[in-house]
Chain A
Amino acid sequence: MRSIIIKKASAAALSLALGASLLAGCAGNGDNEKSANNQTANNQTAATTDTKADPFGKQPELTVITRGTWSNPDAKYPDGQSLEDNAYTRKLKSDYNIEIQNAFVASDYPKQVDLAIASGSIPDFLTNLTYSQYRAIVKAGLAMDISEVWEKYASPNVKKVYDSNKELFDSMVKQDGKMYGIPGSKPLVDFLPVMWVRQDWLDKLGLKAPTNLDDLATVAKAFVEQDPDGNGKADTVGLVGPKKDGKLYQDMDDQNFSLHFDPIFSAFNAFPGFWTNGSDGKAVYGSILPETKAALEKLADMYKQGLISKGILTSNTEELTSNNKAGLFFGTWWNPFTEIGNSWRNDNNANWQAYTFAPGSDGIQLAKGGNAASQFAVISKDAKNPEAIIKMLNIKTESLDKFVSKEDRSVLSDYPYPFYLTYSLADGPALILQGAIDYQNGKGTLEEHHANFESYDPGANPIFDKLIAFKKEPYDNTNISAWDFSGDKANDFGLVYSFGEGLRPYVSGKFKWVNTLTYVKTETMDKRWANLKKLEYETFSKIIVGVQPIDTFDSFAEQWKKEGGDKITKEIQSTLGQ
């Protein structure tokens, strides 16, 4: 469900899905032009495939497609629109003859998907599946082999995104050369941990943004003890930790969320939850290595000293930030959409600044690389019109922003779009900030930048324009005082501050990805991984909050190996050809 949180961030990111791929046929603006282009596409392909294979062709007759989706109880729609009936669905019906029906709408989407799988019947398509759900669907024989329809109907640009990470994607969605699913493709900016700090608090206490673990402890301690908000009460906390049922760090399954401890683990060269190279050069699970133990010991020590907020993993710790009781946490670039936005609304002077946290001497942060394919879509083997589903992906990827009016677009977050799947190039969002910085430094004219974005995705331009319009001089000052969020501009705080501030650590380039050796799941993992992960999560959480001593780590490692870990490690090694 993280995807709900980032949906607005992705709204922008998605529109960049094309990257630099410029198909002559898709640069046009109006619908007339597009159908003309479709005509061209038809003519071009007519020689090799049958004439119906037009990635953007209107369905010859009304095609009803069923799907499962989630609902957000707080969602607000423009007047007269709803999840079932909105600008997107209307356009799909009128221009493409595709009608969408919701087989289920749940606020707990994963559970409803699990039930659908259990009962052996899924809607025509499902998006936003986890890898295990995807595997369960394929194993149950419920997924369609889409190799052919993909080949025929996926638009060149959609294929281009797939090909940009082909090896990874192939390893995950192909079996015996057959393709059973469509991997989501996430922009890498989502995975870089961002250290958010209240600069105004630092300034008040005469401190600097921390660059190593000792500084981090000093700042956290000062935030707890020296009343940074100046209200005369000892009600502020240090480093904010994971929220209720949250995770301690990103792993192969859960990524792109806030309030984790990854940068602290990385500081110890520990990469729990990832497959890394052991001393013998063979794959080994990061969570059972001594580096992880050392990081846990540090975290437990910090918790004991009160430097980490109490109530981690059991309460809504993000509210500490929202209510300006906290000034330090590890998050993501899109946090201004969530708690930082709330914090700012509660206190317009809250000066949140985004940093990398790089304790090493080189100033380079080691960051866990993300799984670009962490969500999946499948088409049911019983779907009558798989091509219509692929077309929805094409449309979404190439021309979603031409679909609906600007006004509607600003209100309709993108998830009601029927085929919701993040499908983006790696640097998507960061290119916009880079463009704005370049422009402010006198590189290129406004027209040139506009033309550049227009050439591959017009959706970037409104964001670019806002970044320019909201930023006051001096341009190299990124403090909140150097931004203009007065009046109506306040509505765009989340968008502008995420792009304008949250992406700075990424744009700075001072980080290095550390990738897991593989994301593939083996047979034993299907059976035991959930339990092993639970064991890991439980042990580590308890060590950090001090209910179990650090030595528990060793018995954990033993138990992990015994209960299937060893077997899984061998399987992983063999899939890696070791």
Chain B
Amino acid sequence: MSTNLKNENVGLKRRRIKNPDVKHYLIMLVPAFIWLILFQIVPMFGIVIAFQDFNPGAGFLRSEFVGLEHFQYMFELSDSRVALKNTVIIAIGKITGNLLVPLVFALMLNELRQKYLVKMIQTSVYLPYFLSWVILSGIMLQIFSFNGPINKLLEFMGLEPLLFFQNADLFRGFIIGSDVWKGFGFNAIIYLAALAGIDNTLYEAAVMDGAGRWRKLWHVTLPSIRSTIALLAILSLGGILDAGFDQVYNLYNPLVYSTGDIIDTFVYRAGLQGLDFSFGTAVGLLKSVVSFILITSGYWLAKKLLGYRIF
């Protein structure tokens, strides 16, 4: 007993000696945690409605529990399967595009010698990234409309007009393409930084060996930024169920639901407009769970394979 007490005392003392700052650290975290509790944790109790036949009049506490009924219904319903499929296809398309296009762009920009031009190009291509989908879709609906300049151009070239917002086959590609367009400049930042960090002596050595542009690219540049590419790829894993609510919501219409409806828009429509609050919450919850698992896996993969801690 007495030894235990003594040990504990020693333990406490040691901790206090070792970390006199912990108290202050905790104080610094107080505002963030108050916010977290009020705005994230409190609403989280609402998850129960996914297991209820939620009756707004009765509230969370008195609504009838129905177990997993909504989840079962979700798997029966063709719409939710379609939304899942679309989400994954669009997200993978975006992830691939957002990894490769900025890479190619960064490599090309890296080859450009006129510095003022580099600066100008960079500033311009970052622009779309900072604009909202509300704004951009307002513009795109105009440009890609039946009467818009793109179709005028196609017509001028003697081609059939393309109905981007009407033709379900084109819509998914349009969503992916416009997203890559929006972000490629900005997403190139990390590549450009990695490229700038390559040791110049490596290139000089390669030139000594008589390497031309392509061989330098293949044998020096790409291997040097390989880990950056791998890291970005792993990090984007967590986004596989995020196909971009703002973008799709502002661009889609019922004609392209079959290829354009994603989980988030489906949840919104079924949950709010369809007045089926419980069902919407259930679908959203499942998405949260899967996303969390994916992000955690990304974290471990990055740590195991690349020795990199995301946070």
Q: Are the chains A and B members of one assembly?
A: yes
* Contacting residues, chain A, for B217 (C-beta < 8 A): none
Q: Which of B73, B77, B147, B269 is A311 in contact with, Cβ under 8 Å? A: B147
CB distance from A120 to the nearest CB of B (A): 4
| Cβ B272 vs Cβ A530 within 8 A | no
| Cβ B253 vs Cβ A245 within 8 A | yes
Give 1 or 0 for each of A95-114: 1 = CB within 8 Å of chain B CB: 00000000000000011001
Q: Does B274 interact with chain A (Cβ within 8 Å)?
A: yes
Chain A: CB-nearest residue to B59: A120
CB distance from B20 to the nearest CB of A (A): 47
| Cβ A311 vs Cβ B146 within 8 A | yes
Q: How far is the CA of A405 from the CA of B280 in the complex (A)?
A: 49
Q: A314-B255, A534-B79 are in contact. Are A117 and B163 (CB under 8 A)?
A: no
A to B contact number (C-beta, < 8 Å) = 95
| Cβ A117 vs Cβ B257 within 8 A | no
* Contacting residues, chain B, for A402 (C-beta < 8 A): none
Chain A: CB-nearest residue to B60: A120
Q: Does B56 interact with chain A (Cβ within 8 Å)?
A: yes
Q: How far is the CA of A244 from the CA of B165 in the complex (A)?
A: 10
Give 1 or 0 for each of B44-78: 1 = CB within 8 Å of chain A CB: 00000000000111110000000000000100011
| Cβ A133 vs Cβ B258 within 8 A | no
Q: Does B277 interact with chain A (Cβ within 8 Å)?
A: yes
* Contacting residues, chain A, for B167 (C-beta < 8 A): 545, 547
Q: How far is the CA of A260 from the CA of B216 in the complex (A)?
A: 63
CB distance from A217 to the nearest CB of B (A): 22
* Contacting residues, chain B, for A140 (C-beta < 8 A): 55-58
| Cβ A538 vs Cβ B255 within 8 A | yes
| Cβ A314 vs Cβ B163 within 8 A | yes
Q: A141-B58, A142-B56 are in contact. Are A527 and B276 (CB under 8 A)?
A: yes
Give 1 or 0 for each of A128-155: 1 = CB within 8 Å of chain B CB: 0000110010011110000000000000
Q: Does B270 interact with chain A (Cβ within 8 Å)?
A: yes
| Cβ A542 vs Cβ B146 within 8 A | no
CB distance from A239 to the nearest CB of B (A): 16
Q: Which of A119, A313, A531 is B254 in contact with, Cβ under 8 Å? A: A313
Q: How far is the CA of A510 from the CA of B69 in the complex (A)?
A: 51
* Contacting residues, chain A, for B56 (C-beta < 8 A): 117-120, 136, 140, 142
| Cβ B255 vs Cβ A132 within 8 A | no
CB distance from A562 to the nearest CB of B (A): 9
Give 1 or 0 for each of A540-558: 1 = CB within 8 Å of chain B CB: 0110010100000000000
| Cβ A547 vs Cβ B168 within 8 A | yes
The main secondary structure of chain A at its interface with chain B is: helix
CB distance from A450 to the nearest CB of B (A): 48
Q: Does A20 interact with chain B (Cβ within 8 Å)?
A: no
| Cβ B168 vs Cβ A542 within 8 A | yes
Q: Does B273 interact with chain A (Cβ within 8 Å)?
A: yes
| Cβ B273 vs Cβ A111 within 8 A | yes
Chain B: CB-nearest residue to A113: B275
CB distance from B105 to the nearest CB of A (A): 32
| Cβ B254 vs Cβ A311 within 8 A | no
| Cβ B166 vs Cβ A545 within 8 A | yes
Question: Which residues between 253 and 311 of chain B lie within 8 Å of chain A, taking CB atoms?
Answer: 253-255, 257-258, 269-270, 272-277
* Contacting residues, chain A, for B258 (C-beta < 8 A): 538, 542
Q: How far is the CA of A139 from the CA of B278 in the complex (A)?
A: 14
Q: Which of B257, B272, B276 is A115 in contact with, Cβ under 8 Å? A: B272
| Cβ A541 vs Cβ B145 within 8 A | no
Chain A: CB-nearest residue to B73: A527
* Contacting residues, chain A, for B55 (C-beta < 8 A): 139-141
* Contacting residues, chain A, for B269 (C-beta < 8 A): 530
Q: Does B204 interact with chain A (Cβ within 8 Å)?
A: no
Q: Does B246 interact with chain A (Cβ within 8 Å)?
A: no
Q: How far is the CA of A140 from the CA of B254 in the complex (A)?
A: 29
Q: A133-B275, A141-B58 are in contact. Are A315 and B168 (CB under 8 A)?
A: no
* Contacting residues, chain B, for A563 (C-beta < 8 A): 77-78
Q: A119-B56, A136-B275, A314-B165 are in contact. Are A530 and B270 (CB under 8 A)?
A: yes
Q: Does A537 interact with chain B (Cβ within 8 Å)?
A: yes
Q: Does A409 interact with chain B (Cβ within 8 Å)?
A: no
CB distance from B158 to the nearest CB of A (A): 16
Q: Which of A114, A142, A245 is B272 in contact with, Cβ under 8 Å? A: A114
Q: A117-B56, A311-B166, A530-B274 are in contact. Are A542 and B145 (CB under 8 A)?
A: no
Q: List 7 A-B contacts (CB under 8 A).
A: A110-B273, A141-B57, A310-B146, A311-B145, A315-B146, A535-B78, A545-B255
Contacts A313-B254, A542-B255 known; 16 new A-B pairs at CB < 8 A: A110-B273, A114-B272, A114-B273, A114-B275, A117-B275, A118-B56, A118-B275, A118-B277, A120-B56, A133-B275, A140-B56, A142-B57, A245-B254, A311-B163, A311-B166, A531-B79
Which residues of B approach A to under 8 Å, CB–CB? 55-59, 73, 77-79, 145-147, 161, 163, 165-169, 253-255, 257-258, 269-270, 272-277
The 6 closest A-B pairs by CB, nearest first: A120-B56, A140-B57, A141-B57, A311-B146, A140-B56, A530-B274
